[in-house]
Amino acid sequence: MPVTQPLPRRLLSEFLGTALLLAVVVGSGIAASDLSPDDVGLQLLENSTATALGLAVLILVLGPVSGAHFNPIVTLADWYLSRRDPEGFSARHVAPYVAVQVAGAVAGTLLANAMFDVGTTFSEHERASGGHLVGEVVATAGLVLVIFSLMRSNRAPLAAPAVGAYIGAAYWFTSSTSFANPAVAVGRMFSDTFAGIAPSSVPAFVSAEIAGMVIGAVLVLALYPAIPVHHRHQGEGRA
């Protein structure tokens, strides 16, 4: 269904969705560390399962309001891939969307810290190795390809389960555990837990995610060059 909500309502949806996504990611990471302190593989399984399910639910609930981006990469890709469409995502909405996504990510991390009564400090978990950055490129390119291939092939109703399943799988097949989201990278700086990332690693992660977005967008245009006439009348909306 098309997104026709007023911009303030869309921004509230993006803030809320991104905040809840980070609460799920960070909160389940903290819970996993507490429940399985001696088994990192089990911790990752618990964290990835909660994230995949939580993300799918958030997309279903908030997609009709804002398009359920929850991710600056998705917002930028949506604008770029629909820029020639008169009903596509407006360039003037990119900055507000990104701003509330980043704010929501920080708020969600602080909420998770508060729920589990852990202090809010910068993470010391360094992640910016060469392999991690390659993993982020792959994870982000795949995410863009999944979302916009569904949109351009009139299968938008499948976005929620498909995106949730992809992110859940990418936790395991990418070395970076698939952040694929600059807002998530910024938010997770504020939790020195299983899910955290050191501030010094964030710029490299964001750069890798932008590179992945470009690759993903190129693949979408190569595989699905035409926007379907009726794509806006099916499933999850777009702003």
Counting the structural domains of the chain, the total is 1
Q: State pLDDT tens for residues 46-85.
A: 999 999 999 999 999 999 999 999 999 999 999 999 998 8
Distance between CA atoms of 28 and 71, rounded to whole angstroms? 19
Residues 237 and 1 sit within 8 Å (Cβ to Cβ): yes
Q: How big is the chain, counted in residues?
A: 239
161-211 tens-digit pLDDT: 999 999 999 999 999 999 999 999 999 999 999 899 999 999 999 999 999
Taking the whole predicted model, whether its pTM rises above 0.85 is answered as: yes
Cα–Cα distances (Å) from 178 to 66, 83, 115, 123, in that order, read 23, 27, 24, 17
User: Could you tell me if 210 and 144 are in contact, meaning their C-beta atoms sit under 8 angstroms apart?
Assistant: no
Segment 200-216, tens digit of pLDDT: 999 999 999 999 999 99
70 is a domain residue: yes
Q: Tell me if 1 is assigned to some domain.
A: no
Q: Report the run of H or E that residue 170 belongs to, with start and end.
A: helix 159-173
Tokens 């190569």 sit on residue: 222
Residue 74: inside a domain, yes or no?
yes
Q: Is residue 2 part of a domain?
A: no
Residue at 177 is within a domain = yes
In a domain, 128, yes or no: yes
**Lookup result for tokens 């700086």:** 189
The domain that contains 228 carries what CATH number? Answer: 1.20.1080.10
Does residue 100 sit within a domain? yes
Q: Which domain holds residue 156?
A: 7-233
Does 238 fall in a domain?
no
- What are the structure tokens assigned to 47, written together? 């964290």
